[in-house]
Structure 1
Amino acid sequence: MSEKVMARVTGIGGIFIKGRDAPALRAWYRTHLGIAIADWGGAVFQWKNEGRTEPDGGMTLFTVFDGDTKYFDPSPAPYMINFRVADLHGLVAALRAEGCQVDDKVDESEYGKFAWVMDPEGNRIELWEPPPA
């Protein structure tokens, strides 16, 4: 009998970058790539199934943070990727058991559940379990 494997990452929830001049960088993405950057600093890409115009409920964020943000700390990288996950608490427990450097903090809100892990090169990765539909 085969053992059930836990789903880990199911997609990309967001890509976050730091901008030395965040307003100018946001304007560049808006002007040259046509990304509808909102007043809060980012854009939401609603997922759509091929051939359909209606969103399927999933989304990916693209956000330009101010260059002095501490949100990516302790990583020195100017970016952070947010991965969608199916079972945040199960994945965090598995990562800890595997010896990964996982933050002690887990945030839970109306936006879902969030946790953070560092990869071997010191990049901070955000894990996100979306709220139920």
Structure 2
Amino acid sequence: MASTSLPDAPSALEVLRARYTGQLPARLDDLTGPAHGTIELPLHVAWSGLRSFDLDRPRLRMSLYRTVLAEGLRQDVVTYLNRDLLLAQWPVLRTLISRPIREVWEARFPVLTARAATAA
């Protein structure tokens, strides 16, 4: 009887990388979210806990960015994240997000890696 071998299933890390790669904007300039004020995230992004974030409060702003990077779809990323705020926060934000998120963002946008290196 011939043996049938199934292709190796992707690892959990590969699945996560593919998911987060799919949420990336084409360019950082596509991140046109607000820089000030309060944002109320939809349930599909903030499905548990806090949904309203005051961008003028640094901890809440960081929490919003962590949530959108981890749970948002591409449209959420471009709608709620702001290019300048992302760049300014990246040196700290990159330490608060998962490795797969950090890796796909820094691979696509080397300016983030450079920003982190200059802040160190």
TM-score by length of 2: 0.29
TM-score (norm 1): 0.27
**Counting helix residues as a fraction of each chain, which structure ranks higher?**
2
